[in-house]
Structure 1
Amino acid sequence: MHIGTVVMGASDVPRAAAFWKAALGYVEREPLTDDWVVLVPAEGPGVGLALGRSESPVQEVPRVHLDLYTEEQDAEVARLLTLGAARAGWELYPDDPDFVVLADTEGNRFCVIDTAHG
């Protein structure tokens, strides 16, 4: 058994899909609708990301979130901000953190992890 797809809620599925496609280099598995889309890696196998329409409020401290790994954290954070992400107010940072907390266009929080940290 393995994780095939992570599902996130979005009030505006097309807007969220545009952000995540640009952020991750993913493509639509089937054409998106206003209510649903599954995004998959353009370069082959990997974990998919599904976006389903939801009016549920965003959790300030989400029970589940994405961790995106990179060796170029500063550059990736800057790129994601230009795509529409926002820095999330996060008061739980440890000293010398290896992660930055951002929010996507829907307010869903995710972390950008610096794999070169340390």
Structure 2
Amino acid sequence: MTALAELPGTSPGNPDVDVRADGVTVRLITVEPDYYGLTEQSVELARAVSATAARLGFAADPSAVGTAQVTVDALDIPAVLAFWRALLGYQNRSGSPEDLIDPRRRGAPFYFQQLDRPRTERNCLHVDVWVPHDQAAARIAAALAAGGKLVSDEYAPGHWVLADPEGNEACVGVAGHPGQG
């Protein structure tokens, strides 16, 4: 951590450092009012982090440099975005009415792209959101209040299927619900 903090371009909260049993991941995401993602400065800092890791005897994997986001196509972006904001517990990215970000910077950002006409076929992608069992009811209620629909509660209290106002589906699964092993 000390070696990272001494690199030019770092600041409090940047980079994010994730320590796990199989290694350490250093995540460099630029969060600005007009941009969210990797910049050339992020890539340069990633190279400096890799060089520092190598100097300290750690293996660096520069092939892992990258980021991902989920893009949701929508006709009515404000209505669809409100559902996803409530369901995910995300917030709007400052200065951007079509982006949601995880305030803890752990999950993938969501971007909402304008459709020019309704989609006639069923979507082939849905998002699973896992929450503690004692948080599920509140998260589902918030998503429904934000314009979502309950598609199925057949497997409750293990999981529920919801949809945003345009039919994009999401499952709310719970960890550790009573009766679960």
* Alignment match of 2:78 (pick from 3, 14, 37): 14
Distance 1:89 1:113, change over 3 A: closer
Change (3 A) 1:104 1:57: same
- Counterpart amino acid of residue 114 in structure 1: V
Larger Rg: 2
Task: For residue 59 of structure 1, report the CA deviation from its aligned partner.
Answer: 4.9
Aligned residues: 110
Please tell me whether the aligned partners of residues 4 and 46 of structure 1 are also in contact (alpha carbons under 8 angstroms): no
Q: 1:16: Cα distance to partner? A: 1.9
Over 3 Å counting, the alpha-carbon distance change for 1:67 and 1:58 in structure 2 is farther
| 1:21-100 map, 5 Å | 21-23=85-87, 24-28=89-93, 30-32=95-97, 37-54=98-115, 55-57=117-119, 59-60=121-122, 62-72=123-133, 73-88=136-151, 98-100=158-160
Q: Percent identity?
A: 25
- Measured in 2, the distance between the counterparts of 1:46 and 1:53 equals 22
More helix by share: 2
SS at match of 2:171: strand
SS in 2 for 1:81: helix
TM-score, normalising length: structure 1: 0.73
- TM-score norm. by structure 2 comes to 0.51
- Root-mean-square deviation (CA, aligned residues, Å) is 2.7
Unmatched segments (≥5 aa) in structure 1 = none
Q: Structure 2 unaligned segments of length 5 or more: list them.
A: 1-63
